Amino acid sequence: MTREHPYQIRRSDRARRARITVSREGQTVVVLPRRMPASEAKRLVAEHADWIDRHVTRVTADHERLGARPALGEGRTLLVAGEPCRVSTVDMGTGRPARGRIEEVVGGVVVRLGRDGRDTAQILEPWLREQARDVISRQVAIHAPQLDVRPGRISIRDQRSRWASASASGGLSFSWRLVLAPPFVLDSVVVHELAHLRIRNHSQRFWSLVEGHAPRTPEARRWLREHATELRAALD
């Protein structure tokens, strides 16, 4: 008997073909080009039932695992630029400073809450962005000459749909959350975007160029697929 999966349809003017995604909440979403009949969604869901089952199971397991973590600021350890970083929060009550701040200590950071009302995550994120900028800028400086490219401005953002991007004018944009990934993963993403300054597509020539400078790229791509939920929920 064919299993039925509940799903939502989302129309897109940019989509050229139908595709299925599973949200962080485990909801199946079918993205259809604007003029494609809705019946195509039903066919696609039935055809990819096993794939949907696997991804829903993985997302559910991710949420259960993340829910069992210590609260941020109560002993949770993050991997920052490849090094364990234990996050502790201190609340001085009426003795709070005007603004919350970060103090770097051996093995981690102490987040001191301030009277500005920001919580641990809101104080920690700007610090993590700066760590990401330092590491990514350093890797860009290393790989750009090797790839014979001259990148433009480097932007550090909280990109949700992709981990990084390269513009036609040479600008590079990276998610700050990459600093929470193993160094070989971040390095692979940097090489990937720099390679796009030479080759704008994902042809075999492009992948040969990327893997010539970042040999662990296939492993890095798998790691990002498997840990995407964890990275996006890092400060939750």
The mean predicted confidence, pLDDT, of the chain is: 89
- What would the pLDDT profile of 17-29 be if each residue is shown by its tens digit? 888 887 766 778 8
From the list 139, 222, 225, the residue with the least C-alpha distance to 179 is 139
Distance from C-alpha of 28 to C-alpha of 41, rounded to nearest angstrom: 11
pLDDT at residue 149 in the model:
97
Q: What is the largest CA-CA distance in the chain?
A: 65
**Residue showing tokens 């051996």:** 106
What percent of the chain is modeled with pLDDT above 70? 92
In which element (H, E) is residue 154 found?
A: strand 154-157
Residue 101: pLDDT over 50: yes
Distance from C-alpha of 150 to C-alpha of 198, rounded to nearest angstrom: 10
SS3 of residue 215 by DSSP: coil
- What would the pLDDT profile of 38-87 be if each residue is shown by its tens digit? 888 888 888 888 888 887 777 666 655 545 456 676 778 999 999 999 99
Distance from C-alpha of 174 to C-alpha of 133, rounded to nearest angstrom: 9
pLDDT at residue 21 in the model:
80
Find which of 41-45, 90-94, 131-135 is predicted with most confidence, using mean pLDDT: 131-135
* Reported confidence tier of residue 218, pLDDT bands at 50, 70, 90: very high
Give the residue-averaged pLDDT of 159-178: 92
83, β-bridge pairs: 80
**What's the whole-model pTM score?**
0.73
CATH of 125-232, one of 3.30.450.40, 3.40.50.2300, 3.30.2010.10, 2.40.30.10: 3.30.2010.10
Show me where the domains of the chain are located. Answer: 7-67, 74-124, 125-232
Give the residue-averaged pLDDT of 184-212: 97
What percent of the chain is modeled with pLDDT above 90? 58
CB 122 within 8 A of CB 113: no
Helices (H) and strands (E) in the chain, counts: 6, 10
Distance from C-alpha of 164 to C-alpha of 14, rounded to nearest angstrom: 19
Give the residue-averaged pLDDT of 209-228: 94
